[in-house]
Amino acid sequence: MASSALAHAVEANFDGLVGPTHNYAGLAFGNVASAKNADQPSNPRLAALQGIAKMRALAELGLAQGVLAPHERPHVPTLRRLGFSGSDAQILQAARRRAPQLLAIASSASAMWTANAATVSPSADCEDGRVHFTPANLCMNLHRVIEAATTSRLLRAVFADARCFVHHAPLPSTPALGDEGAANHTRLCSDYGDAGLELFVYGRGNADETAPARFPARQTRLASEAVARLHGLRDAHTCFTRQQAAAVDQGVFHNDVIAVGNREVLLHHEQAFADAQALRAWICTHLHGERRPVFVEVPEAEVSLADAVASYLFNSQLICTADGTMRLIVAQESREHAGVWRTIQRIIADEGNPIAAVDVFDLRQSMRNGGGPACLRLRVVLNPAEQAAVNPLCWIDAAQAERLSQWVSRHYRDRLSLDDLADPKLLDESRTALDALTGLLGLGSVYDFQR
């Protein structure tokens, strides 16, 4: 991590490292890209290297950039719980023969999208002055609900110092408390170290509120309110606002597919929120400090909702470099869509907002499964003492990025089909890789096969 990042509170990005079983099974109902590319062969090696390239580039920009390890997959303990028995190899073969969908679920590498790993509140916002983590229960999808236990162990291994960090258990795993983590949570502030505003966006709330008709709303208001209580957030600095139901029905399964916030800026599509005017008014009233709120709204007439979902314009990262300049981190798909690229250039040229530049990354392996730049990272605001308390091996610099790239090239396959998930050699390869990775990142025994 660059030494300049330690001078003051920063918003660190912890990206998920793509796992060895990255595949396209089309498991996420409501995720248009995931469904479109179902059953196609994947390239886990390329997927992981693309993610590492983004981490390396952001670290070179001077950002505090970290990494979170992938999960153990195929997850044989899940298949055992679902009635399969015998050796690991026998379980994989039986699942492929009798319940291939369950094998795909147990093999998903979806933990790479760490925007869903947890909701994180900075110490400046919490009553006890510590950073709070609540892992998402992800109970709306079976392939993701099995992530919570490992996510909890990984977060505790990276953020271990109890003087700085508080780790809560995931909320009870029931649809009434559906929690999808930071993908539906945004923080605005004047400066990262100041007390800020925490915005929780939900899709399912009171019975009298319009609900999506085609696709499920994964985040509930009850869950968001529970997380806010657990974190000890101040009522006056916490807002619960609803997604527009029609947007969910067009593939906006998380708020980070249609809106992104950073410091004082909220960049969003016209159809992102059920009542955008009320949300803006609340932010203007409650955000204090030298910087005043900046709203960048993209109208439907300029970028349709369908084009926003296809390009993942709003699933970009909005970051601040050391000099305070804001940059958009976008996927190649946004560059290739002429209308979306014109909008990005307009936003950058507009002196009324602080967004001054754009960086484009090839993340096609992730994008084909429905996850863009913002899906791949968990934002954690840290003051200098908290930065120093993070597991040091989980920070990315050029040397660590190179070590991770070599690890991927040594252990990952360059082609994976759904039939390959039943190959016992893949399980052995994955466990060997993860065992080596825990040493590389200083994580200890976080995986079931190590315990």
226 marked among binding-site residues: no
Return the beta strands (E) in 80-181 as ranges.
Answer: 118-121, 131-135, 165-167
CA angle, 226 as apex, 144 and 238 as ends, to 5°? 110
The catalytic residue among 22, 185, 254, 269 is 254
Element (H, E) at 361: strand 355-361
The catalytic residue among 11, 72, 147, 180 is 180
Question: CA–CA separation, 201 vs 199, rounded Å?
Answer: 6
For the question of residue 254 being annotated catalytic, the response is: yes
71 marked among binding-site residues: no
For the question of residue 71 being annotated catalytic, the response is: no
43 marked among binding-site residues: no
28 marked among binding-site residues: yes
442 marked among binding-site residues: no
353 marked among binding-site residues: no
What are the residues whose beta carbons fall under 8 Å from the beta carbon of 141, sequence distance 6 or more?
Answer: 27, 28, 29, 218
Q: Nearest CA to 163 among 394, 385, 443?
A: 385
Note whether 143 and 104 are within 8 A (CB): yes
Structure tokens at 406: 């070599």
448 marked among binding-site residues: no
The catalytic residue among 126, 375, 394, 411 is 375
Q: Nearest CA to 111 among 82, 74, 84, 81?
A: 74
Q: Nearest CA to 217 among 187, 250, 186?
A: 250
184 marked among binding-site residues: no
| Helices 44-60 and 398-411: angle between axes, nearest 10 degrees | 180
247 marked among binding-site residues: no
26 marked among binding-site residues: yes
Identify whether 216 is preceded by a cis peptide bond (ω within 30 of 0): no
For the question of residue 225 being annotated catalytic, the response is: no
CA angle, 33 as apex, 371 and 315 as ends, to 5°? 35
From the centroid of its chain, how far is CA 387? 20
The Cα-based distances of 273 to 91, 156, 185, 243, 347 in angstroms read: 45, 34, 13, 5, 20
Alpha helices (H) in 27-133, listed in sequence order: 32-36, 44-60, 76-81, 88-98, 100-107
256 marked among binding-site residues: yes
What are the residues whose beta carbons fall under 8 Å from the beta carbon of 322, sequence distance 6 or more?
Answer: 2, 4, 5, 62
67 marked among binding-site residues: no
83 marked among binding-site residues: no
Q: Nearest CA to 122 among 186, 218, 71?
A: 186
Return the beta strands (E) in 288-353 as ranges.
Answer: 294-298, 317-320, 326-331
- DSSP code at position 159: S
The Cα-based distances of 397 to 56, 178, 262 in angstroms read: 7, 36, 23
362 marked among binding-site residues: no
Active-site residue list: 180, 254, 375
**Which positions make up the binding site?**
25-34, 116, 143-144, 218, 256, 369
**Which positions make up the binding site for substrate?**
25-34, 116, 143-144, 218, 256, 369
